[in-house]
């Protein structure tokens, strides 16, 4: 009987050792799984943070470029009346016979326009007979159209419009036909 007890104890010991080994393997696997899961979570956090940083860099770079493009907008807006005055002066002086005065005004006007064009300023092209577009033109008044073809079209341009880069900084002021 003592042998049977010894065998039972030995079987219990082996069973306990097997169970302990299985528990240790299970704990080891679960620790490995936990660590792998934590590593994957940290990788995901890192990738998201990296992507967010790249988006931030791209956005600030774009904003910086836009700022440089339109930084001179206030200066350009304050010089537009000077351009208008030069155009009016040119028209009035061309009516007189003083050719040297006309050349002087023309040279100064061209120099100013060239300088502003180098900075990105360009006139908005509008002609009589063009279709009126509320996104591109500012209608000052409507008058009776001289013929049916000019209804809803631009009849006269009262003030030139200007763009700075792709942005319109002053809309052309026009008279439309009704």
pLDDT in tens, 83-92: 999 999 888 9
Please give the share of the chain, as a percent, with pLDDT higher than 70.
84
What is the per-residue pLDDT for 161?
Answer: 94
pLDDT band at 171 (very low <50, low <70, confident <90, very high): very high
Which CATH superfamily does the domain covering 122-178 fall into? Answer: Head domain of nucleotide exchange factor GrpE (2.30.22.10)
Residue 174 · residue 132 · CB < 8 Å: yes
Average pLDDT over residues 35-44: 94
Please state whether 129 falls in left (phi above 0), alpha (psi between -120 and 50) or beta. left
Q: What is the pLDDT of residue 20?
A: 53
Q: What is the per-residue burial (b if ≥16 Cβ within 10 Å, else e) of 1-13?
A: eeeeeeeeeeeee
| Model confidence at 147: pLDDT above 80 | yes
List pLDDT tens digits, range 2-14.
Answer: 555 555 555 545 5
CA separation for the pair 17, 23 (Å, rounded): 10
Every domain of the chain and the residues it spans: 1-70, 72-119, 122-178
- Burial pattern 70-84, b for ≥16 Cβ within 10 A else e, equals eebeeebeebbeebe
């Amino acid at each position: 009987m003592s042998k049977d007890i010894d065998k039972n104890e030995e079987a219990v010991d082996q069973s306990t050792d097997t169970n302990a080994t299985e528990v240790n393997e299970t704990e080891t696997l679960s620790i490995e799984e936990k660590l792998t899961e934590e590593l994957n979570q940290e990788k995901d956090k890192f990738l998201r943070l990296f992507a967010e940083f790249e988006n931030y860099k791209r956005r600030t770079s774009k904003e910086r470029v836009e700022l440089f493009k339109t930084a001179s907008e206030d200066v350009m807006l304050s010089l537009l009346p000077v351009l208008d005055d030069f155009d009016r002066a040119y028209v009035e002086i061309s009516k007189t016979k003083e050719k040297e005065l006309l050349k002087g005004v023309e040279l100064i006007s061209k120099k100013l326009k060239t300088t502003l064009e180098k900075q990105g300023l360009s006139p908005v092209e509008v002609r009589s007979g063009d279709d009126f577009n509320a996104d591109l033109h500012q209608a000052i008044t409507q008058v009776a159209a001289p013929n049916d073809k000019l209804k809803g079209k631009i009849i006269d341009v009262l003030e030139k419009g200007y763009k700075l880069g792709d942005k319109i900084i002053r809309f052309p002021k026009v008279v439309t036909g009704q």
